[in-house]
């Protein structure tokens, strides 16, 4: 029971790990003894974040753009060259596009769906050999998909593709969980609410007070909040949990 939430010795990939929620989760895993690979499309930023996190443990930069199959396959191949097994895959890389309904563009729709849904499926698919190699009945492999509270309740902004993609991510999580459970691979989602990330920066600058006041807990999420849920879903504590979409939103989608 004392090591119920331990992730020590696990091998973890965090996509979108150079900033925002990804960097928060990556740091928590590094500090708790996991070997963490982070990826993002900005190689300079990814390398810098990995160097920063390596002060606390082991973090390796594998920068790839997951907006297309070349980047997805490139990341999977680069990881396979380094590791035979993967304990935890965190599909966190994401994109958002907002504009009035009359002006919403196809390129925005495609960009968001490609990153937020397509990449989640195909990166999981390409890394199945390493996930299967790590998975046992007593210590399952994990896939954690970062969805959003906006995939549960519609947002006030005109981010149509984003909310649709995150709802799709939740159903994809459930479908993958059902398919992969017999192979001891657990698939769960986290549905975060508002955090002080770069993706939320413009919204918070204009509507920050309203966002805080309208949240049942009257605050933004903090690093420990998202990290705690991710570590639970990666540890022995969650061995009997799969197909779940766990809120990390201060209650915004629940009340």
Mean pLDDT over 44-65 rounds to 98
CA distance 135 to 79: 17
Structural contact between residues 152 and 200, judged by C-beta atoms closer than 8 angstroms: no
pLDDT at 205 over 90: no
Is 207 assigned a catalytic role? no
Output 43 or 196, whichever has higher pLDDT. Answer: 43
CB 249 within 8 A of CB 255: no
- pTM for the model stands at 0.96
Q: How many CB atoms lie within 10 A of CB 37?
A: 25
Query: What is the reported pLDDT for 201?
Result: 83
> Secondary structure of the chain: what % helix, strand, coil (to 5)?
50, 15, 35
Give the model's pLDDT for residue 149: 96
pLDDT at 200 over 90: no
| Burial (Cβ within 10 Å: 0-12, 13-18, ≥19) of residue 73 | middle
pLDDT digits (tens, 9 = 90+) for 91-140: 999 999 999 999 999 999 999 999 999 999 999 999 999 999 999 999 99
- Report the pLDDT averaged over residues 67-92: 98
**Which residues are CB-contacts of 133 (< 8 A; sequence separation ≥ 6)?**
84, 85, 86
For the chain, the average pLDDT equals 96
- Which of the residues 56, 104, 162, 240 is marked catalytic? 162
Q: What pLDDT shows up at residue 204?
A: 85
Domains and CATH numbers, the chain: 11-243 (3.40.50.720)
Q: Which residue has the higher pLDDT, 196 or 77?
A: 77
Find residue 190's DSSP bridge partners: 146, 246
Q: What is the pLDDT of residues 230-250, one digit of tens each?
A: 999 999 999 999 999 999 999
Would you give the end-to-end CA distance of the chain in angstroms? 33
What pLDDT digit, counting tens, does each position of 147-173 carry? Answer: 999 999 998 889 999 999 999 999 999
Nearest CA among 144, 164, 143 for reference residue 95: 164
């Amino acid at each position: 029971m004392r090591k119920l939430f331990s992730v020590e010795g696990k091998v973890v990939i965090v996509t979108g790990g150079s900033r925002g929620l990804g960097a928060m989760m990556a740091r928590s895993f590094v500090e708790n003894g996991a070997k963490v690979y982070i990826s993002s499309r900005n190689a300079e930023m990814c390398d810098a974040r990995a160097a920063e996190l390596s002060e606390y443990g082991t973090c390796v930069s594998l920068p790839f753009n997951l907006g297309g199959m070349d980047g997805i396959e490139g990341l999977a191949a680069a990881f396979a060259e380094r590791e035979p097994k993967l304990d935890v895959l965190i599909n966190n890389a994401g994109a958002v596009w907002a504009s009035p309904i009359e002006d919403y563009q196809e390129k925005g729709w495609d960009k968001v769906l490609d990153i937020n849904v397509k990449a989640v499926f195909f990166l999981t698919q390409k890394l199945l050999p390493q996930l299967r190699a790590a998975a046992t009945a007593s210590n399952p492999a994990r896939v954690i998909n970062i969805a959003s509270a906006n995939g549960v309740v519609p947002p006030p902004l005109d981010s149509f593709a984003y909310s649709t993609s995150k709802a799709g991510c939740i159903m994809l999580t459930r479908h993958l969980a059902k398919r992969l459970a017999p192979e001891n691979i657990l698939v769960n989602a986290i549905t975060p609410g508002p955090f002080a990330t770069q993706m939320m920066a413009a919204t918070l600058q204009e509507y920050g007070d309203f966002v805080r006041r309208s949240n049942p807990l009257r605050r933004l999420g903090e690093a420990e909040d998202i990290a705690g849920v991710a570590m639970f879903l990666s540890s022995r504590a969650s061995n009997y949990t799969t197909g779940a979409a766990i809120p990390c939103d201060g209650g915004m989608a629940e009340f």
